[in-house]
Amino acid sequence: MARKTGTAVESAKSKTAPEKAVAKVAAHQGEADNPLLAQWIGPYEIPPFGEISIEHFPPAFEVALARHNEEIARIAQSKAKPTFANTIDALELSGDLLHKVGAVFWGRAGALTDDALQAIEREMAPRLAAHRNTITSNSALFQRIADLYERRDSLKLTAEQARVLERTYKGYVRSGAKLEAAEKARMGEIKQRLAALGTAFGQNVLADEKGFELPLPTEADRAGLPDFLVAAAAEAAKERGSKASHVVTLSRSLIEPFLTSSDRRDLRETAWRAWIRRGENGGQTDNWGNVAETLVLRDEMARMLGYQTYAAFKLDHTMAKTPENVRELLDTVWKPARAKALVERDMLQAHAAKEGANIQIEPWDWRYYAEKVRRAEFAIDEAEIKPYLALDNILGAAFAVAERLFGLRFTEVHGLPLLHPDVRAFEVADAKGRHIGLFLGDYFARPSKRSGAWMSGYRGQQKLRADIRPIITNTCNFAKAPDGEPSLLSLDDARTLFHEFGHGLHGLLSDVKYPSLAGTSVARDFVELPSQLYEHWLGHPDLLAEFARHHEAGEPMPRALIDRIKAAATFNQGFATTEFLASAIVDIDFHAAPAGGDPKVREEETLRRIGLPREIVMRHRTPHFAHIFAGDGYSAGYYSYLWSAVLDADAFAAFEETGDVFNAKVAEKLRRFVYAAGGAREEEAAYKGFRGRLPTVDGLLKVRGLDKMA
């Protein structure tokens, strides 16, 4: 099956024009037999995953692209005077089939890929980029949009319509709609090449992750590992079909606890070096060349659009607005974070010496000795905590918070066609029993899944065509327990679950008319607010007491342990904040200056300039920094996690100030202005609607224990 799909894709590249025409007709004729093109009439109109094979994707894309082109042509070539209905409404409704096919394809490409699917991905990424560019460079279409935009004050638009029109017009301008013909052609070439580079970047990282495993065949190799990690390493070996009985992979839910607990310093170093060298191992999967070309092309594109740098272009429509504002925020937090990290480093070094270890702390030692110091200072042991953090319990806690805040109820649904046997489905209803959406959770790591955690969707919310409810997915990479045993999460894993669930609620609670405004369709430095804010409820003592129960005894987490966890909340925050900031500063340095030079040298220069302690590395080093190079979603925007952290610290304080973190009035405003509003308001207006003002950085510094550092 895989070979046939690969051959079909390769042969399509060499077809003559008549052959392509024949293939197009054949694709249309086979439409009824292609489940991607059929109407989905099953429960919740969920994609019929069990009927979809890889061979269905290429012809489905052909049909969907052709249909979208026809829809755009009808709008652009209309002889009728432009109206909001015949132009903007029509644009909003166009491309439904392409969105439908693409959602299934990209969902599978991220969570259940293989060589054949990756071949299609390499083929389609630049084609889809070219398709989007053809639309945004369509002069007749843009003239209709511009005509409406110029007459916007006389059109008697609703607030949401005005927002859609403004975003549509500015989006087309930012895509090059005002460029001359030759520049439009060059812009199309750049976008296609960037799409190809982003796809290659992500596939290279995945290949390096799949290609590494650290065997732990003996008890000596597993020295220091808690039982849960030994079991997870055995399950990872089984999942991969490894010859070794136990392996550590580069899944964060395995590699970080291994670096935290392994007594074998030599194995920690081996694992750590593999972890940080993803994407720079030489050969076909090395990403430095992709990075260099990407930066040059982004710089060229920004200059074509009238911006001095790519960062200036990307930030123009965010809350931050300018690279200077981003740098000011990063610099404000960097100084106290670095100072705290140096204090932490000295604590680790002193503890190692106290134990008789004649070593200098290295990056592969940090987590190991940080855990030892945390045990000594706060009597906190990750192995003591994890038995209380079974996946089902923490998922139940996330659901409970959503019910208390927003009246949502989650009911597991069985028997649906799903992407993988590990995926679970939940119907979401409000307090009156009305259907809100379908929530899918795909929580376990596997070799066919890219690393990290993310929220996506198979269908977005809208009211333009009908009252369409969303299908939202959370995808994570937690270590899977052996059959019959509960999967236990670390505190970081639990925070990840709550974080992605916050994104999920942003999609589920969306309540707008227009598809382009729905859910997470907000500025990049606002999109993390709903997710990061949601993490705050995980640490609430009452929630932990109710849901953090021992997976064997069933007893709630002792209050004394909860208090110790709370007391240790700011421990190691210098390290955590510094490793994040290093990545964010490298990102903005790459994109806020003219492109050119060796990006590896530029990375080194930035880290030297800011004085990153040698014992700490970037959270995401450049060759595997998928946030900014496997696509452009967070390019010049990785700072947004910090920007949103300023917002979320202040937003949670709104609840704390009432004395009730589930205060109904505050929750209603949060739902109305943040979770349900999508992009219907400018982000500053949305936050002010909720909080009444904009925040300062003071709350963030206090939450992270950085407020008293020099």
Q: Can you tell me the mean pLDDT for 195-205?
A: 97
Quick check: 420 pLDDT over 60?
Answer: yes
Q: What pLDDT does 17 receive?
A: 38
Q: Compute, in degrees rounded to 10, the torsion defined by CA atoms 481, 473, 314, 136.
A: 140
Same fold, 2-136+138-178 and 381-567+639-700: yes
Tokens linked to 208 = 């390096």
Question: What are the distances in angstroms from CA 399 to CA 395, 406, 519?
Answer: 6, 10, 19
Cβ 429 vs Cβ 412: under 8 Å: no
CA distance 411 to 393: 15
How many residues belong to the chain? Answer: 710
Cβ 188 vs Cβ 130: under 8 Å: yes
Contact partners, residue 85, CB within 8 Å, separation at least 6: none
Quick check: 561 pLDDT over 70?
Answer: yes
Quick check: 277 pLDDT over 50?
Answer: yes
Give burial (CB, 10 Å; 0-12/13-18/19+) of 335. Answer: middle
Annotated catalytic residue 160: no
Q: Please give, one letter per residue, the 3-state secondary structure of 172-196.
A: HHHCCCCCCHHHHHHHHHHHHHHHH
> What pLDDT band is residue 698 in, cutting at 50, 70 and 90?
confident
Q: Can you tell me the mean pLDDT for 147-165?
A: 98
pTM of the model: 0.91
Q: What pLDDT does 710 receive?
A: 52
Q: What pLDDT does 20 receive?
A: 44
Tokens linked to 493 = 């894993």
Q: What pLDDT does 5 receive?
A: 28
Other Cβ atoms less than 10 A from the Cβ of 30: the count is: 14
Cβ 426 vs Cβ 527: under 8 Å: no
CA distance 493 to 37: 37
Quick check: 505 pLDDT over 50?
Answer: yes
Q: What pLDDT does 30 receive?
A: 58
- Please give the mean pLDDT across all residues of the chain: 93
Measured in whole angstroms, how far is the alpha carbon of residue 516 from the centre of its chain? 19
**Is the domain defined by 381-567+639-700 classed in CATH 1.10.1370.40?**
yes
Q: Compute, in degrees rounded to 10, the torsion defined by CA atoms 677, 678, 680, 685.
A: 70
CA distance 350 to 400: 43
Cβ 393 vs Cβ 400: under 8 Å: no
Tokens linked to 41 = 């009439």
Contact partners, residue 234, CB within 8 Å, separation at least 6: 245, 246, 482
Measured in whole angstroms, how far is the alpha carbon of residue 480 from the centre of its chain? 21
Catalytic residue among 160, 382, 500, 683: 500
CA distance 702 to 706: 6
Tokens linked to 93 = 């409704």
Strand 471-478 relative to strand 454-459: parallel, antiparallel, unpaired?
Answer: antiparallel
* Model pLDDT for residues 523-541, shown as the tens digit of each residue: 999 999 999 999 999 988 8
Q: What pLDDT does 704 receive?
A: 86
Which CATH number is 2-136+138-178 given?
A: 1.10.1370.40
Q: E strands of 392-445, at which residues?
A: 409-413, 424-429, 435-444
Q: What pLDDT does 702 receive?
A: 85
Quick check: 7 pLDDT over 80?
Answer: no
CA distance 173 to 136: 8
Q: Can you tell me the mean pLDDT for 252-281?
A: 96
Quick check: 232 pLDDT over 90?
Answer: yes
Beta bridge partners, 412, equal 426
DSSP assigned state of 528: T
CA distance 165 to 145: 8
Q: Compute, in degrees rounded to 10, the torsion defined by CA atoms 299, 302, 308, 314.
A: -100
Q: What pLDDT does 24 receive?
A: 47
Strand 435-444 relative to strand 471-478: parallel, antiparallel, unpaired?
Answer: parallel
Q: Among 147, 174, 162, 124, which Cα is nearest to 8's?
A: 124
CA distance 124 to 683: 33
CA distance 95 to 75: 12
Q: Can you tell me the mean pLDDT for 646-673?
A: 96
Contact partners, residue 356, CB within 8 Å, separation at least 6: none
Q: Among 481, 439, 444, 435, which Cα is nearest to 456's?
A: 439
Q: What pLDDT does 4 receive?
A: 29
DSSP assigned state of 322: S
CA distance 247 to 596: 40
Percent of the chain at pLDDT exceeding 90: 89
**Which amino acid does the sequence have at 16?**
T
Give burial (CB, 10 Å; 0-12/13-18/19+) of 139. Answer: exposed
> What pLDDT band is residue 10 in, cutting at 50, 70 and 90?
very low
* Model pLDDT for residues 582-599, shown as the tens digit of each residue: 999 999 999 999 999 999
* Model pLDDT for residues 28-71, shown as the tens digit of each residue: 445 778 999 999 988 999 999 999 999 999 999 999 999 999 99
Indicate the domain borders of the chain: 2-136+138-178, 214-277, 381-567+639-700
Q: What pLDDT does 685 receive?
A: 96
Q: What pLDDT does 42 receive?
A: 82
Three-state secondary-structure class, residue 459: strand
Cβ 211 vs Cβ 447: under 8 Å: no
Q: What pLDDT does 381 receive?
A: 85
Q: What pLDDT does 380 receive?
A: 86
Q: Can you tell me the mean pLDDT for 101-129?
A: 97
Quick check: 427 pLDDT over 80?
Answer: yes
Q: What pLDDT does 412 receive?
A: 98
